[in-house]
Structure 1
Amino acid sequence: MTSPRRMGPENSKTRLRFLDIAERLMLEEGYAAVGIRRVAREAGVTPALIHYYFRTLDDLFVALIRRRSEQELEAQERALESGGLLRSLWAYNSHPRGATLNVEFIALSNHRKAVRAELVGYAERARELQRKAVADYLKARGIDPETLPPLALTVLISTVSRALTIEDAMGLTVGHDEALALVEEYLRKIDGAPVQDAE
């Protein structure tokens, strides 16, 4: 029996640099531009060094998703703890860089099962974090979860804000002003609802 191949440490500056390069390539050229040889060329190293840290290209993509996911979960937790929770969630999900990476990861997940599994796992964790925070937020304002289901609200906020951000990046803005005015009206109503005393 052969011993497992030695891998580079996860917190290595070199490994993090490779992830930075892969992320930059995804943002600038799309996921198809990311490959072991391309990352190696951009880093000025041999492909063997990339393989020292990532056995396969899927391992590189999964590591990139995990890093981004942890960063995003931390950012979401900060947003959820801030005042004006729904507005914070809207702003968080409207970030152009995050929306661009999400599009690339979703497209990539159509071709790579490991990437799909990682994305779904992260999304489920993020949605549960948001659902709980939104449920507490609405309850504190006396808003009935039957009338405004917290999970439905989190899905609407994340998908609509990202879709508008993606369309805006493409130059498609027809209907955006009207949609944003409608969102603003509802956010103002919910955020402005008086906080109930805890019983």
Structure 2
Amino acid sequence: MAAPRRMGTESSKTRALLLDIAERLMLEEGYAAVGIRRVAREADVAPALVLYYFKTLDDLFVAMLRRRSEQELKAQEKALGGERLLRSLWEYNSHPAGAALNTEFIALSNHRKAIRAEVIAYAEKAREIQRKAVSEYLRARGIDLPPLAITVLISTVSRAIVMEDAMGLTVGHTDVLALIDEYLDRIEQAPSAS
């Protein structure tokens, strides 16, 4: 029986560099540009070194997604800590690089079940954290709106607008953004119930 294959450590600088390169390629050229050989070439290493850290291309994608997800959860936590929680949540979800990576991972998840499972697990975790924060925020203001619905509306509409902007489709955005600003102002200006 063959001995299990050795894997590089998760804290390795080389591993981090490989993930950085893969993420850059994904942002600049899309997920199809990310491959073991391409990442190796960009890092100026042998493909075997990439495979030392990631057994398969899916393992590389999963590692990218997990690393980005952990970074995003920390950023989200910061966004949820402010007085203007809903506006902070809107701004957090409106980040163009985050929306671009999300789009690539969603597209990739249509072809790879392992990626789909990771995307869903992260999204559900993030949504639950947001739902709890929004629920407390609305309750403190005596506002009776469904927190999960508000969370989904903020995250999906803000990201959709960013994605459309990136394509050059901006028709209706001014009106939508004005409407959102109006309602966020109304909610934020509601007196605290406590």
Q: What is the distance in 1 between the residues matched to 2:109 and 2:152?
A: 20
TM-score normalised to structure 2 length: 0.99
Report runs of 4+ in structure 1 exceeding 2 Å deviation. Answer: none
**1:45-74 deviations in whole A, cap 9, x for unaligned?**
000000000000000000000000000000
Pairing 1:70-89 to 2, within 5 Å after superposition? 70-89=70-89
Aligned-residue RMSD, C-alpha: 0.6
- Identical amino acids, percent of aligned pairs: 75
1:44 aligns with 2:41: no
Matching residue of 1:65: 65
Q: CA deviation at 1:196?
A: 1.5
**1:1-37 deviations in whole A, cap 9, x for unaligned?**
3221110000100000000000000000000000000
**1:131-186 deviations in whole A, cap 9, x for unaligned?**
00000000000012xxx100000000000000000101111100000000110011
Pairing 1:1-199 to 2, within 5 Å after superposition? 1-144=1-144, 148-197=145-194
Q: Secondary structure, in 3 states, of the residue corresponding to 1:188?
A: helix
Q: How many residues were matched structurally?
A: 194
- Structure 1 residue ranges without an equivalent (≥5): none
Q: What is the distance in 2 between the residues matched to 1:141 and 1:82?
A: 15
**1:81-115 deviations in whole A, cap 9, x for unaligned?**
11200000000000000000000000000000000
AA of the residue aligned to 1:180: L
TM-score normalised to structure 1 length: 0.96
Q: What is the distance in 2 between the residues matched to 1:181 and 1:3?
A: 62
Q: What is the distance in 2 between the residues matched to 1:152 and 1:2?
A: 52
